[in-house]
Amino acid sequence: MEANMPKRKEPSKSLRIKVISMGNAEVGKSCIIKRYCEKRFVSKYLATIGIDYGVTKVQVRDREIKVNIFDMAGHPFFYEVRNEFYKDTQGVMLVYDVGQKESFDALDGWLAEMKQELGPHGNMENIIFVVCANKIDCTKHRCIDESEGRLWAESKGFLYFETSAQTGEGINEMFQTFYVSIVDLCENGGKRPTTNSASFTKEQADTIRRIRNSKDSWDMLGVKPGASRDEVNKAYRKLAVLLHPDKCVAPGSEDAFKAVVNARTALLKNIK
């Protein structure tokens, strides 16, 4: 009798997800995927033509995850080919080359392209983004430092990893955290967990960026050249409260704070 009873089905623990890679041509998207899936590195540049597709299985906690990876071509020429692959994505790997400022500046443009393709009903809030600051092995040519990249990523609630497809540094950690975050998202009803939101304010992030790009000490403190002692001190106090490392956890806040202290000292020396 018992043998004829229908077996109770175990709840399915397998999960199917879609991830895509985005970023300018030649930043290393395909190499990062190859390093993770095939444990090897190809130094010759073979541009992706349109799109490359692959499937891989990974284990996250007790679940088997089937990952469909769509590796996009970064070259503008392939826009027409890749634009239909943005939809139904749970994870985006956003890559730039730390030695190529243009590829970092292009990240906003990649988000805009995706947003446009998803249309007015598309929701980018519930996608996991991981930013890969790639080619960190090329230390001599590096022009975007960690705090600048991390600030950009974290102020958007994105994950951030420093990677090298050549040496393998950061690659496994990046994918592991990426997949765990996607599974968390799926188990949270498709909503990005709130812990991913930035732990610093937009004002703090914008101020750090402004300080980085300021042309002199006046500009850094946000006062007019020739400002009085009082004006300098007032501006300094405001920035010090905003950026004090005890209060501000935004990447780069410590350097920005030090720069502000130095700027104030330099200005006060020359004001009677």
What would the DSSP string read from start to end of 13-68?
A: --EEEEEEEESSTTSSHHHHHHHHHHS----S-----SEEEEEEEEEETTEEEEEE
In the complex, minimum distance from the CB of residue 72 to ligand GTP, in angstroms, rounded to a whole number:
7
Query: Which listed option, ligand GTP, Mg ion, none, makes contact with residue 233 (CB within 5 to 8 Å by class)?
Result: none
> By C-beta, is 116 or 167 nearer to ligand GTP?
167
Tokens representing residue 164 in the block: 């090298």
> By C-beta, is 27 or 235 nearer to ligand GTP?
27
Query: Which listed option, Mg ion, ligand GTP, none, makes contact with residue 255 (CB within 5 to 8 Å by class)?
Result: none
In the complex, minimum distance from the CB of residue 48 to ligand GTP, in angstroms, rounded to a whole number:
3
Query: Which listed option, Mg ion, ligand GTP, none, makes contact with residue 27 (CB within 5 to 8 Å by class)?
Result: ligand GTP
In the complex, minimum distance from the CB of residue 233 to Mg ion, in angstroms, rounded to a whole number:
53
Query: Which helix H or strand E contains 179, and what residues bound it?
Result: helix 171-187
> By C-beta, is 77 or 271 nearer to Mg ion?
77
State the residue for tokens 């990046």.
174
Which positions lie near ligand GTP, rule CB under 6 A? 23, 25-31, 42-43, 45-48, 73-75, 134-135, 137-138, 164-166
Query: Which listed option, ligand GTP, Mg ion, none, makes contact with residue 83 (CB within 5 to 8 Å by class)?
Result: none
| Distance from the Cα of residue 40 to its chain's centroid | 24
Rounded CA separation 262/108 (Å): 32
> By C-beta, is 134 or 217 nearer to ligand GTP?
134
What is the number of other CB atoms lying within 10 angstroms of the CB of residue 2? 4
Where would I find the beta strands (DSSP E) of the chain? 15-22, 51-60, 63-72, 91-97, 128-134, 159-162
> By C-beta, is 72 or 127 nearer to ligand GTP?
72
Query: Which listed option, Mg ion, ligand GTP, none, makes contact with residue 250 (CB within 5 to 8 Å by class)?
Result: none
